[in-house]
Every structure is written in C-alpha cells, then in structure tokens.
A = this chain, B = another copy of it.
Amino acid sequence: MEPRRIEESCSRCKDRCCARCFDDGEESIFDCLTPDELELLVKEKRHVHFKAGETILKQNTSASHVVCVKRGLAKIISEGDGDKRLILRLVATHSILTGGGIFIDEIRHFTVQAVTEVDCCFIDSDKIFELVSRNNQFAFELLKLNNRQNIQMLNNLVGITQKYMPGRVADLLLYLKNEIFLCNPFDTRLSRQELADMTGMTMESFIRILKEFKSSGIIVVDGPNIHVIDEDALQLISRKG
C-alpha cells in the first residue's frame, strides 16, 4: 500500500489544478469534463494557502465556493453549542469539498480547518451548477460523491450510537490507517483532543482506551505516531461493539 503523501504537493498541480491534480490513480470527478469545460472550471479559480490551524471554511457562512484540497490535511468539524464539537472526518490531498449543502440552502453545515499546511483552490459554486447542467456524467460523479459521504455518515452514526468506547477507538484507528494515511505506522498530526473529537468521547476517556490497547500489545504509540501491530484484534474489537 502506497502511503499517502500528506505534505507533498502534486507535481502536476502547478498549472491546471483540479484538472490534472487528480489523475494519478485516484479517479476524480473532473475526469469526465471536456477541455472546454475544464477551462471553464479552472479559469477563475483562486489558489489559497493555509497555515496549520487556520479555518478554511466556516460553518453557517454562505456556501459560494467548492474547495479542492491539493496538499495537506484538514479536518471537518461540526460546531455545536458551547465548546461541543465533533470531527466528522478528515480530508487529505486530492479531495473535493462540496460543502454541506450547496444544492439546498447554500449554507455550510460544518467548519473545515487545516491540520497541516494546506494548499487548495476555490471554485465558484456557479461553475459547478453550470457543469451539472451541461455534462451529465459530471452530475453522475457528483451524485456518487454525495452518496459515498452519505453512507460514511450513516456508518459513523451507527458506530457512535451503538458501540462502546473501545469499538469506536478501534474504528478510528482503522480509518486513519486504511483510509487516510495508507501506511503503518502513521503520524496522525492530531492532538489527543482532536482524536477524541472524532469518536465523540472526552479526551480522558480516549486516552484510557488507547492505554488499554497499548498494554494489550495491539498498538504502539509514540506521541502522535501510532503503529498498528494487531489489526485483526482491532477488527474484532470493532465488531464486538
């Protein structure tokens, strides 16, 4: 499994970002566009750089843009009342953020924040609307993307609702290893608080479970670096609840 290069920029991104960025193995929703349509898409895009910790998109602001992440790691956060918050998922290099509800209320339903340095480009939602009505394949790809996020959220909902803490932590570790970093060990670049916020539990509880896993020999932990030793055990814990 090829590790994902979080900090490394795509060599093809220099010029036609969002067009050529995504054709190195990972398929992109932009693959189906004609050169003309591609031109339309990238013509007025704006490239923006964010430092770690900066807010890329803010919940409850109007969703006028779609964002392509070219480099770096960001977290998607649902901000509740008080200091309640839930990290819904991570987005890494080569991801597209259509925002929460660009097709409904044009309001962002979550905040996106840079975990590492992030390079991305902002594209007008209008362009996306235009492409949807021009190119059916593109609409299809967007539907797929939407659908996938829907299913992920469903699994998240069921997991967080029905599993005890060890199961949720196991799920998180498997997610980080197999869907985000694609390597082992991996450097989460996330604090304990942030990891806890991905499981809907308190930092203290998260640390305790991690400690259990450590002393059972399932994982080796060194600060933000986690090495999964016994993935089968994690799978088992995940299933058992």
Interface stretch among A8-16, A152-160, A180-188, A217-225?
Answer: A152-160
The verdict on A137 contacting chain B, using a C-beta distance below 8 Å, is: yes
Contact B86 A157 (CB under 8 A): yes
Total identical chains: 2
Number of interface residues of A (CB under 8 A): 41
- State how many angstroms separate the Cβ of A91 from the closest Cβ of chain B: 15
Q: How far is the CA of A233 from the CA of B102 in the complex (A)?
A: 32
Q: Which residues from chain B contact A102 at a C-beta distance below 8 Å?
A: 147
Q: Which residues from chain B contact A142 at a C-beta distance below 8 Å?
A: 143
Contact A154 B153 (CB under 8 A): yes
The verdict on A208 contacting chain B, using a C-beta distance below 8 Å, is: no
- Chain A: interface secondary structure? helix
* From B100, B136, B200, contact of A133 by CB (8 A): B136
Q: How far is the CA of A148 from the CA of B105 in the complex (A)?
A: 9
User: What are 30 A-B pairs with beta-carbon distances under 8 A?
Assistant: A78-B157, A78-B158, A81-B239, A84-B162, A86-B157, A86-B158, A86-B161, A86-B162, A100-B150, A100-B151, A101-B147, A103-B146, A103-B147, A104-B147, A109-B154, A129-B140, A132-B140, A132-B143, A133-B137, A133-B140, A134-B136, A136-B136, A139-B140, A139-B143, A143-B146, A149-B150, A150-B150, A153-B157, A161-B161, A162-B200
